[in-house]
Each structure stands twice: as C-alpha cells, then as structure tokens.
Chains A and B, each alone.
Chain A
Amino acid sequence: MKPMLDFYLTNMKTAIVVEFQYRVAAYFYMIGMVAEPVIYLVVWTTIARAQGGSVGGYTPGQFAAYYIVWTLVRNMNIVFTPYGWEGRIRRGELSAMLMQPLHPLHRDVSWFAGWKFVVILLWLPIAVALYLAFQPTLDPTPLEIAVFLIAIWGAYLIRTMLLWALGMISFWTTRVNALFELYFTVELLISGRLVPLSLMPEWAQTLANFLPFKYAFGFPIEALVGQLTPPQLLSGLFLQSFWIVAGLVLVQVMWRAGVRKFTAVGG
C-alpha cells in the first residue's frame, strides 16, 4: 500500500510539473470549456425570465449556481479520452507500459488527479468572474459540501472507468470515434450536462437512475446546489461506489482480453 501511495504522489507531482509548463494552453482550453455551460446558462436564464421567473423550480440564480458548479465538475471528470488509446497502441506507448510492474490504470488515475490541482487553480479566477457576472443562488449546508467533495472524485473515477472501457475497444478496432460520439450524445442528454435532470421528461429521469452517466456529472452538481435531501445525498454516494466497482470489473475484464489480443498480434 505504501509503495502505491508513493507512486500516486510522485505521478501526481509529475503531472502538476508538466501541466504548469502548459498553463497558457490549459487556460485557453478552459475558456473553450466554459463557453459550453455559459451558453446553456444564458438560454435557460432567458427562458426562466420569459416564464415569469423560473423553469421547473429553477430561478435564474439557481441556474447560475448549477452551471458554475458544472464548470468545476467538468474539470474534475476530464479523463484520458478514447482517442488517446489508438495512439497509445500505435506509437508503442502501451508496450512500454506493459514492461513495467504496474497496471496502467494507476498511471492514468494518478496523472489526471494531479492535473486537477492545476486546472482547479486556473479555474478559480474564472469561477469568480462567472459568480460576479451571473449572481448564483448558492447556500450549501456542511453535509452538502462534504458530499460534494467526495462526489467530485467519485465522478472522476466513474468517468475514468467508462472512458477506459470505451478506449480499450481500440484493441479490436481502431475506429472508436463513432462510439465516443454516441457516448457523448447519451452523456449530454441523461447526465445533467445539457440541462438539470429534473427538467427532463419523467422517463429520461428514470432511465438516468439506472445508468452511470448521472453519477459522473449531475449528481455532484445537484449535491452542492441544494436539490437533494440527505438520504438522496447518501444513496447517491452509495450508487457512485457501485458504479466505480462495476466499472472497475468491466475495465479489468476488457483489459485482460485486450492485452491477450495485443500480445497475440504485437504492438
């Protein structure tokens, strides 16, 4: 356990050093990323005002809170994308990883965890600017804050597992782009990314409860903006744990089969 902790801390530190070298690029990336929720926010705020002050119980201030927290959650759930897997296999990086006595999943989890510290630091001034511009209504309880702080890391792990599994399809086919587009569409609609899930039709909300996407996006946001009761908060954390374990099992099964395929044909 101690050597693994040592590796995690060292790799996180390495990621921080690397990302600080590219801070300008990271900033531009973040500005692009922030454009997405700002568009949603402007649209929904306009609709809320047109409908007499709220939509589905969300006031403009609550929408502002939702989408500002969204920007932090989005930073937290950025992980190694499926696009990267193709290059990882083609350029021989995977061969190098296979030669080391460490599962590459640890590399990605620790690397992107370190990366978060840099992007959150860069995110802070943007969050302040958004706060001043949109005046969010945000008054979380200590429990909501505590659940949020755990849930953003849970969201990170769920999305890591999902996109690792998707990326590993590269072992069998080099064209994972189409599947990633499909994933992106589903995530957009039933994770709380496009719109708070409570504004979606009943059937979509029910469907979202049985899929992992919501727990990697909407749940942490709702936890902080005060949309959930204490039992809902705790059951949300439990379901996040469930999806992390289920994702881990899926990743392990695919990893073993993928490596068997990879070592049969060469990298």
Chain B
Amino acid sequence: MAINSSAIRTSQLRKFYDVPEREAGLGAAIKSLVKRRTKQVKAVDGVTFEVAPGEVVGFLGPNGAGKTTTLKMLSGLLYPTSGELRVLGHLPEKREREFLRRITLVMGNRNQLVWDIPALDSFELNRSIYGLPEAEFKRTRDEFIELLELGPLVQKPVRNLSLGERMKMEIAGALLHRPQMLFLDEPTLGLDVTMQKRIRHFIAEYNRRTGATVLLTSHYMADVEALCKRVIVIHHGQILFDGGLSGLVERFSAYKTIGFTLDNGDVDLSIYGEVRERDGGRVALRVPKADTSRVTAQLLTDLPVEDLTVEDAPIEDVIERVFAQELPKETAP
C-alpha cells in the first residue's frame, strides 16, 4: 500500500503515562506528601498499522488493552509519547479545523446531544457548528432518519429516549457532516440485539454510500463479523494480530468442532474427542485442529454417522483465547 494513499498510518506509536502510586493508609498518605512515587504505564507500546480509505477495520482487545487510547490519539484527543501518526494526511494532535470537519468519534458511553430538547434541535445545532449548507444538511438528516428509523423519535426530548434510541440519535448527529473517517468506540454497548443489528446495518450502509473509513472497537463479535473483513487485535498496548477475520480463527483456534447425527445413542464418543453437546442423535465433538482429518475418517469408518460437518470454533471462543494468554507478537502483513 502506498503510504500517501492510507487513511490511517501509524508507526511505532506509543503512549506512556506516569501514574501516582502509593500504599493504603495514613502513613503512606503522609509519606506521599514528601516523596511522590509514580509508575509508568505503557498504554500503547509501539503500534504500527495502516488502514486504506474505505476499509472497515475491527479494533479488538480486552479492557485496558490500549484500544481507546489509540482511538484518542488517532482523533487528536491525546498527544502520542512518540511515534508517527497521520490520519487523512493530517497530524491529529494539531486538531486543525479541516481535520475535525473530516472525522468523527463516537463513544458508546458519552452523550453529545443536548439532553433536554428534541434531537432535531441538536441536529440543527450541529448544522451550524459545521457550517453545512441547508439543503445538504436536510438531505443527509432525512436520509439518516429513514435509515435508522428515527421518524417519530426525533421530536422527543433526548432524555425521554431509551438507551438504544439515544445511541441511534448520537450516531446520526455525529455523522451529519458526512465525515470521511469514523472512529467508533463501542457503538452498540448495552443495546439489545435488534438495536445492535440496526446500527450495524447503518454503519455498513454509510460506508457503502460514502466510502468512509471506519475503525470500530466492540466487545460484541457479531458487530465485528458483520462489518469488518479485517481485524487488529491489541493487547498490553501491542498488536497481536493484524489480518482477516478468518486468518484470526485459523491462527489462534486450536480446535475444530465436528458435528454429526448418530442413530445409536449408546456409543462412547470420548475416545474421539471432547463431547460438547449431545442432543438426541445430534452430537458436537471438539477435537484438536491437527487431529481433525484423522478423527473424521475414524468416525466415518467406525460409526454410522450422517450429516457430518467440520466447523471452526466460534469467533467468541477464539477471541477469548487470544485475550486469555500471552502470545507471540505478529508483525503487520
């Protein structure tokens, strides 16, 4: 990928904090008046990646992995300690107006709309902040109202909306200026399944219609599977994996699941693998990835099995495994 064509380009990006540290108790409090002890926390430690214009990338990691810190550096809310960083050709920390007009940051737990008035009035305020032409603003607003099914809700005060309805409003408000770069931090946090699907559909549609680049963090794998062909996994401030979602499963999944139907329910299957599920004749067997072919052949030889399928482990299991252990770093592809 040519460097100047990247929507995001980071190189050895670091953010370290000095955090005050002391033991509990009065003695420690008095001691800290004289001598203050600090500990350096490496929130982001040498992150390098590029994102092409129009890409939708999932940014995954457990709590405290460095996802939000990275998003804040990319959006200009945090100065990096060191490293290089360009977003849409801008240096984010300068927070130039032209840059701010081209990006948006949506954080699932933060509200930007005026609480006491209908969202329609807040949208109007955003129009004036971004200096949007009236006709263009109305076209975008009406398009979003339709796509997100906001119709009757836009005239209710924001404080009277449910969490999911409010989140839809927040997203609509944050995109009215049609940014080319979307930083979405947990946009579906705490929402029910239907609302999550609606928001996912909207993000995908926005990306398709405008060609905007999206960097998304989420703890819901359904978001990632529905939207992102590529994922970047960050842990302890470092990139563990950068590549396709299928590659992630391939690389980190140690097991596969063999599913089949068996007429004879009395057979002891534990010699073939770990029985994860046995519902009537339907069986789900977990086997080490390396043994999959051998066990499959053995099952077909030994037993009268039907409808045999071999599946990768669910993405949630894979991610859980990635987060649970220290794995060797992989360089970005």
State whether B78 touches A92 (Cβ < 8 A).
no
Q: Which listed residue (A10, A21, A100, A102) contacts B116, Cβ 8 A?
A: A21
Stretch at the interface among A63-71, A166-174, A258-266: A258-266
Q: Could you say which of A11-19, A38-46, A139-147, A187-195 contacts chain B?
A: A11-19
Pair A266/B78 contact, Cβ less than 8 Å: yes
Query: What's the minimum C-beta distance from B99 to chain A, rounded to whole angstroms?
Result: 8
A95 at the interface (CB under 8 A from B): yes
Smallest Cβ distance from B170 to chain A, in angstroms? 10
Cβ < 8 Å to A, chain B residues 73-116: 75-79, 93, 95, 97-98, 100-101, 103-105, 107, 110, 112, 114, 116
A21 to B158, CA, bound (A): 13
Q: Does A181 contact B (CB under 8 A)?
A: no
Does B128 lie within 8 Å of A267, measured CB to CB? no
CA gap between A265 and B69 in the complex, in Å: 10
Chain A residues touching B, range: 20 to 34
Binary flags per residue of A231-267, CB closer than 8 Å to B gives 1, else 0: 0000000000000000000000000000010011111
- Give which listed residue, A99, A101, A265, A266, contacts B105 with CB less than 8 A: A99
Is A153 close to B, CB under 8 A? no
Partner of B130 from A17, A95, A96, A101 at Cβ < 8 Å: A101
Instruction: For the complex, give the distance between the alpha carbons of A181 and B69 in Å.
Output: 36
Whether A202 sits at the interface, judged by CB under 8 Å, is no
Residue of B nearest to A99 (CB): B105
Tell me if A3 is interfacial: C-beta within 8 Å of chain B: yes
Q: Is A7 at the interface (CB under 8 A from chain B)?
A: yes
| Contact B130–A265 (Cβ < 8 Å) | no
Shortest Cβ distance from B307 into chain A, in angstroms? 52
Asked if residues B129 and A267 are in contact (CB atoms below 8 Å), the reply is no
Contact of A14 among B77, B95, B117, B130 (CB under 8 A): B117
Interface string of A129-162 (1 = CB under 8 A from B): 0000000000000000000000000000000000
Q: How many residues of B contact A (CB 8 A)?
A: 33
Task: Please give, as numbers and ranges, the residues of chain B lying within 8 Å of A10 by CB-CB distance.
Answer: 124-125, 127-128
Q: Would you call B288 an interface residue if the criterion is a C-beta within 8 Å of the partner chain's C-beta atoms? A: no
The answer to whether B129 touches A101 (Cβ under 8 A) is yes
Determine the distance from Cα of A6 to Cα of B127 in the docked complex, in whole angstroms: 10
> Does B114 lie within 8 Å of A96, measured CB to CB?
no
B72 touches A (CB below 8 Å): yes
CB-based nearest B residue for A96: B112
Are B129 and A100 in contact, CB atoms less than 8 angstroms apart? Answer: yes
Q: Is the CB of B121 within 8 A of A267?
A: no
Pair A101/B69 contact, Cβ less than 8 Å: no
Q: Specify the main secondary structure of chain A where it touches its partner.
A: helix
Asked if residues B117 and A266 are in contact (CB atoms below 8 Å), the reply is: no
Query: Taking CB as reference atom, which chain B residue is nearest A6?
Result: B128
Query: Is A186 on the interface with B (CB-CB < 8 A)?
Result: no
Residues of chain A within 8 A of B77, CB atoms compared: 95, 98-99, 263, 266-267
Kindly identify which residue among A3, A22, A263, A264 contacts B131, using a CB–CB cutoff of 8 Å: A3
Q: How far is the CA of A240 from the CA of B23 in the complex (A)?
A: 52
- Residues on B with beta carbons closer than 8 Å to the beta carbon of A22: 116
Is the beta-carbon distance between B121 and A101 smaller than 8 angstroms?
A: no
Do the beta carbons of A101 and B107 come within 8 Å of each other? no
Q: Please tell me if B220 contacts chain A, counting CB pairs below 8 Å.
A: no
| Chain A nearest CB, measured from B167 CB (Å) | 15
Task: Tell me how far the C-beta of B282 lies from the nearest C-beta in chain A, rounded to whole angstroms.
Answer: 49
Q: Is the CB of B117 within 8 A of A18?
A: yes
Q: How far is the CA of A266 from the CA of B97 in the complex (A)?
A: 20
Task: Find out whether the CB atom of A263 lies under 8 angstroms from the CB atom of B93.
Answer: yes
Q: CB-defined interface of A94-108 with B at 8 Å, one 1/0 digit per residue? A: 011011111000000
Which residue on A lies nearest to B112, using beta carbons? A96
Q: Which residues of A contact B79 (CB under 8 A)?
A: 260, 263-264
Taken residue by residue from 1 to 37, chain A's Cβ proximity to chain B (1 for < 8 Å, 0 otherwise) reads as 0010011011100100110011000000000000000
- Report B's interface with A, CB cutoff 8 A: 17, 69, 72, 75-79, 93, 95, 97-98, 100-101, 103-105, 107, 110, 112, 114, 116-117, 121-122, 124-125, 127-131, 157
- List 10 other contacts, CB 8 Å, given A98-B76, A264-B79: A10-B125, A14-B114, A14-B121, A17-B117, A22-B116, A96-B112, A98-B77, A99-B100, A260-B79, A266-B17
Query: 8 shortest A-B CB distances, which residue pairs?
Result: A10-B128, A3-B131, A101-B97, A101-B100, A7-B128, A96-B112, A92-B110, A263-B79
What are 7 contact pairs spanning A and B, CB under 8 A? A95-B110, A98-B95, A99-B76, A99-B100, A101-B100, A101-B101, A263-B93
